[in-house]
Amino acid sequence: MEKFYTTTAIDYVNGAPHIGHAYEKILTNVIFRHFKQRTDNAYMLTGVDEHGIKIQKTSKEMGIEPKAFCDMNAQKFKEAWELLDINYTKMIRTTDDYHKKSVQLIFKKLMEKGDIYKNSYKGLYCAGCEAFLAEKDLDEDGFCPVHKKKPEVVSEENYFFKLTKYKDAIINHIKQNPNFIIPSFRAKEVLNQLENIEDISVSRAKSNVSWGIDVLDDPTQVIYVWIDALSNYITALGYAPDKESEEFKKYWPADVQVIGKDILKFHSIYWPAILMALDLPLPKHILAHGWITIDETKMSKSLGNVVSPKSVMESFNLNEPDAFRYYMATAAPVGKDGNYSDDDFKEKVNAILANSMGNLLNRTLSMLVKYFDGNIKQEFIKHNSLFDGAKQTIEKVKHHFDYYEVAEAGQEIANLIDKTNKYVTDSAPWTLAKEEKMDETGHILYTVLEIMCVASSLIYPYCPNIASKMAHQLKYDITKKIDDIDFNNIKEGKLISKEEIEPVFLRLDSELAKDKKNK
């Protein structure tokens, strides 16, 4: 694999990040970290979406200049991703100068091409969606079905993008590339939407929306959020219509663009049309993930059930994000909705990370110290049929990631650990040691440790800190590429002393967490 480029949606900065935003960033980061194990040229872009009426209104209500308001909130997103060890390559802000300039030039190029034209318009605008809605999109009360608010009637002279010109080309692309939209069941939905598309408004009158990027040569209009926002995926790489940067040439088209199902229309219809108009190739895949609920309820400010990643970390007293990352990344099969609950979080990560994986390593190393003073003897080192299974796990994990099935790949890793635990229970090395069958005992321990090396590599994208602690105790190189994983990591000689053994993950103590939360 030569390169890998993945992106997330860019979040509106009118509030602080919640675990829905975090879900997407973690999912993308696990994908990114996995593909870093397959190529040296992997790139992850994330960012924040800062223009539009919503930001303009919220900052006004707070009595702050929009830019100062954005600075304050963009920082919260940055800090949240740091807390979650999201090691993105770049975080773009749509108020960045280079982005604004490129967007203006993109707009200009589309105007020159005749794909953008001016027209007067009367429509229903939902500030929540930052989009015009058709009557048929509204619920029976005439409200936006997503934001439960009545859209505003807006009558303006706007610029329009000739979406209809690209309709057939997009339909063909989706039909000819069944994996363009992942999961594929969403493609039908998009094809239905395509049946009724119209040209879209791509600017707003400055008299109504001032917080946006100016249209070049027309001071009465600002570029409407979606053309601004979607362009981030290429401007971040240094694209401008008059100059394609080296980075852009290297990374575009994106391998996978990760977004929520609510904004699939923008990414599978508007975005491809804009790219076609710019004569640029389309991304290889659009991954539309599901939504995260809290205790099976939709998160909303009015219900007061919005949970931030920071509050989860604090309430469970976590000093590293691995458990939360693991839980979120495996919260739902690809494209399906998932749920967060404190109890389920605790139960799941205790079961898998502490009891199953952490304990297995701890017990095995402790036995190695007890029976062999931490030494591996040459007699222990031989092939075990478990290695064949582990090889298959590596292939299965890779295959799942080829389709961005992050939770499914996580399940394969959990299965490998379960199988290895069963092997230890069934072969009972403690009994063999009592019977003084020391080579057999040693071989069992050796086998488990080899498998744990593989497991640490595979779990690394989900739990980088835990995996590093495992690798450290195994004297294993965690930076290994996935195709270099093999079974001669554990060498003859001293592996570990009693003092060097440390648990890689401590069980979450629910009572302690609840106490802290109540305070």
Interaction site with ligand MSP (CB under 6 A): 9-12, 20-21, 23-24, 49, 229-230, 232, 259-260, 262-263, 291-292, 299
Q: Tell me which of 34, 36, 144, 310 is the catalytic residue.
A: 144
d(CA 158, CA 424): 69
Q: Tell me which of 298, 370, 383, 491 is the catalytic residue.
A: 298
Residue given tokens 């997503």 in the structure block: 146
CB of 178 to ligand MSP, least distance (A): 23
Q: Tell me which of 18, 36, 285, 310 is the catalytic residue.
A: 18
- Report the residue number, 332 or 471, with the smaller CB distance to ligand MSP: 332
Beta bridge partner(s), residue 181: 286
- Report the residue number, 143 or 291, with the smaller CB distance to ligand MSP: 291
- Report the residue number, 62 or 146, with the smaller CB distance to ligand MSP: 146
Cβ contact 364:445 at 8 Å: yes
Angle at 44 between CA 290 and CA 321, to 5 degrees: 65
CB of 40 to ligand MSP, least distance (A): 27
d(CA 82, CA 103): 28
Q: Tell me which of 122, 136, 301, 519 is the catalytic residue.
A: 301
Number of alpha carbons in the 13 Å side-chain half-sphere of residue 367 = 22
CB of 216 to ligand MSP, least distance (A): 21
- Report the residue number, 82 or 262, with the smaller CB distance to ligand MSP: 262
Give Cα separations from 346 to 295, 296, 323, 435 (angstroms).
14, 16, 9, 39
HEC secondary structure over 324-348:
HHHHHHCCCCCCCCEEECHHHHHHH
CB of 8 to ligand MSP, least distance (A): 7
Give Cα separations from 453 to 251, 360, 468, 496 (angstroms).
32, 12, 10, 14
Based on the residue annotation, tell me whether 101 is a catalytic residue of this protein. no
CB of 128 to ligand MSP, least distance (A): 8
Based on the residue annotation, tell me whether 21 is a catalytic residue of this protein. yes
CB of 338 to ligand MSP, least distance (A): 8
Amino acid at 414: A
Based on the residue annotation, tell me whether 298 is a catalytic residue of this protein. yes
Based on the residue annotation, tell me whether 463 is a catalytic residue of this protein. no
- Report the residue number, 70 or 361, with the smaller CB distance to ligand MSP: 70
Give Cα separations from 434 to 142, 428, 440 (angstroms).
76, 10, 12
Based on the residue annotation, tell me whether 126 is a catalytic residue of this protein. yes
Based on the residue annotation, tell me whether 267 is a catalytic residue of this protein. no
102: helix, strand or coil:
helix
d(CA 467, CA 504): 8
Tell me which residue of 312, 316, 328, 303 sits closest to 80, measured CA to CA: 312
Q: Tell me which of 3, 109, 147, 265 is the catalytic residue.
A: 147
Minimal CB distance residue for ligand MSP: 260
- Report the residue number, 227 or 433, with the smaller CB distance to ligand MSP: 227
CB of 260 to ligand MSP, least distance (A): 2
Q: Tell me which of 51, 54, 129, 453 is the catalytic residue.
A: 129
Number of alpha carbons in the 13 Å side-chain half-sphere of residue 127 = 15
- Report the residue number, 198 or 262, with the smaller CB distance to ligand MSP: 262
Catalytic residue numbers read: 18, 21, 126, 129, 144, 147, 298, 301
